[in-house]
Amino acid sequence: MFRSCVSRADKVFSPSFTALSLSHSSIHTEQQYKVEVYQQQIDMEKLCHQGELLLKKVSDQTDRDMIQEPLTELRHLWDNLGDKITQRQVRNHLMRLKSWITHN
């Protein structure tokens, strides 16, 4: 009798435990990803700050343009990457929610 109950409990709760395990794993992966992105954000801000300091030192417009254009492009690319990161996070949260709903 006990074994029968345990067997039924395994069948009922196994999908939930599997989903929970997958969610835990994906949360850990996402946390690592956020740490890496945060470090890149710090590096990006340092680089932009250095570029701004360099712009203040340069008086020739041609030299200023040579510095400003890549900085502008870099900021544009970073902003675009930020949008993609946000979309990825929303998509991941929706997938986890869908998985949880499906298994419960």
Residue 15, both tokens: 């999908």
DSSP readout, 20-68?
HHHHHHHHHHHHHHHHHHHHHHHHHHHHHHHHHHHHHH---HHHHHHHH
The pTM for the full model equals 0.63
Tens of pLDDT along the chain (104 residues)?
A: 555 554 555 555 555 555 556 566 777 888 888 899 899 999 999 999 999 999 999 999 999 999 999 999 999 999 999 899 889 888 988 888 888 888 76
pLDDT, residue 97, reads: 86
